[in-house]
Amino acid sequence: MADLTGKDLICTQEWSVKELLKVLELAEDMKKKRFDKKYTRMLLNKTFFMFFYNPSVRTRQSFECAATELGGHAQFLEPKSMRLKTAKSAGETVEDAAKVMSRYAAGLGIRILEDKVSHYGEGDDLLREYAKWSDIPIISMAHDKFHPCQGLADVMGLRKHLGKNLKGRKLLQVWGHGALARSWCSVQESLLICSRFGMDVTVAYPEGYDLDPAVIAQVKENCNDNKAKFEITHDVRAGYKGADVVYSRNWMTPHAYDKGELDKQGEIDRALKFTDWICDAAKMRLTNNALFTHPMPIDRGHEVTDDVASGPRSIIYDVAENRLHVQKAIMALTMEKL
Ligand code: CP
């Protein structure tokens, strides 16, 4: 297998299944032997830059802990602490910033999504621009298209609770109404990585909430490659039947940026009308005793009821914990030898 040193992680689809398994297996071992000496010096004296355009609980905290546990350090950066060129102001180019950052740090994580982009794909373009100029790995910490660290943490959780072979298991990825206008990143990443690992996939959402057609085409291709099923339904209940995993999450419409910026209030006003689109105990009873998962933060009472989110089949905290372990594995594999 190829050495992963220096490899960017912008979407799991760009890594082979073997490479993803290498991350998962290392993360699983790191979880078992969390403070074993072999894992506490891998980033000794090295710094990971975390560049956040948007706020975070899990991503910032887990990356900071990950760097500390590997013997290194994570430095928090945000646009206001730098003087970067933007569409509206003069400043430093990505080329210069990336080249300089590469002289200091072992890796650079970037988060940019929701209201910090003016159109879908702008965040992805920015990460790829950093990747073009930097000599260190660029890691998506969630951007408008993808959230690879979340996808790996999701699969690590499913492997723990369903066993390592996920082939033939059914994932229901279901839209939830709510008072947030969320980017497509976590949902698209989950669809891509779960279909790579052989799961049957059903996506359920009200009409008008289509995801990126290119991503959906790739998910279909992944399912075809694995002889797995893929379907889209606009029925609020049908997808639950036979599901082994239910992943509920709000996401924005494809028209969210039609005004040249995120129409957050318009998206929220529209989403809140679909009150039936909540994952609740009655719908979960239609499943194959499914696990419930969500990347968090959860909009409880909208995306999912409390009794499901905090119920015996919920794996939300395991998955949140897995962010730490998969990120330690990613950092060790991509940054250790630099
Ligand atoms: N799931 C996730 O990325 O959480 P945060 O937004 O809190 O980082």
* Interval between CA 55 and ligand 1 midpoint (Å): 8
Q: From edge to edge, which strands make up the β-sheet containing 170-175?
A: 230-233, 200-204, 170-175, 245-249, 291-293
CA separation for the pair 240, 166 (Å, rounded): 18
Best of 64, 156, 299, 323 for a ligand 1 pocket test (most atoms within 8 Å of beta carbon): 323
Q: Give the Å distance between the CA of 183 and the centre of ligand 1.
A: 12
What is the identity of the amino acid at 270? R
pLDDT at 1: 56
Q: φ and ψ at 65, to 5 degrees?
A: -65, -40
Instruction: Report how far residue 48's alpha carbon sits from residue 11's, in angstroms, rounded to the nearest whole number.
Output: 19
SS3 of residue 19 by DSSP? helix
Rounded to the nearest angstrom, the distance between the alpha carbon of 66 and the centre of ligand 1 is 15
Report angle CA 46, 48, 53 to the nearest 5 degrees. 165
Instruction: Report the separation in Å between the CA atom of 225 and the middle of ligand 1, taken as the mean of its atom positions.
Output: 31
Say how many Å lie between the CA of residue 90 and the centre of ligand 1.
31
Ligand 1 pocket test, candidate residues 57, 147, 188, 190, most atoms within 8 A of CB: 57
* Atom number in ligand 1 closest to CA 149: 3
Residue nearest atom 4 of ligand 1, based on CA coordinates:
58
305 CA distance to ligand 1 middle (Å): 20
**Residues near ligand 1 (Cβ within 6 A):** 56-59, 142, 150, 295-297
Positions in the chain whose pLDDT score sits under 70: 1, 337-338
What does the pLDDT look like over 61-108, one tens digit per residue? Answer: 999 999 999 999 999 999 998 899 887 888 999 999 999 999 999 999
Give distance in angstroms: CA of 325 to centre of ligand 1: 15
DSSP state letters, 27-77: HHHHHHTTT-GGGSSTTTT-EEEEEESS--SHHHHHHHHHHHHTT-EEEEE
Report pTM: 0.98
* All domains of the chain in start order, with CATH: 12-146+320-335 (3.40.50.1370), 154-316 (3.40.50.1370)
Q: Where are the beta strands (DSSP E) in the chain?
A: 47-52, 73-77, 107-112, 138-143, 170-175, 200-204, 230-233, 245-249, 291-293
- Cβ density class 230-247: b for 16+ within 10 Å, e for less: beeeeebeebbeebbbbb
Ligand 1 pocket mutation, candidates 62, 296, 317, 326, criterion most atoms within 8 A of CB: 296
CA 324 / ligand 1 centre spacing (Å): 12
- AA identity, residue 68: T
Q: Cα separations (Å) of 11 from 126, 128, 148, 149, 215?
A: 14, 11, 5, 9, 11
Residue 227: other Cβ atoms inside 10 A: 10
- Counting from 1 in the atom list of ligand 1, the atom nearest the Cα of 62 is 8
Taking the centre of ligand 1 as the mean of its atom positions, its distance from the CA of residue 27, in whole angstroms, is: 19
Query: How far is 194 from 166, CA to CA, in rounded Å?
Result: 8
- Return the amino acid letter for 283: K
Task: Pick the atom of ligand 1 nearest to 147's CA.
Answer: 3
Q: Which atom of ligand 1 is nearest to the CA of 295?
A: 1
Query: Whole-number mean pLDDT of the chain?
Result: 97
* Secondary element (H or E) of residue 132: helix 122-133
Cβ-contact 153, 191 below 8 angstroms:
no
| Contacts (Cβ under 8 Å, ≥6 apart) of 160 | 315, 318
Burial status of residue 312 (CB atoms within 10 A of its CB: 0-12, 13-18, 19 or more): exposed
Instruction: Name which residue sits closest to atom 6 of ligand 1, judged by CA.
Output: 56
- Whole-angstrom CA distances from 292 to 46, 47, 280 are 37, 35, 10
Instruction: Count the neighbouring beta carbons within 10 Å of the beta carbon of residue 320.
Output: 20
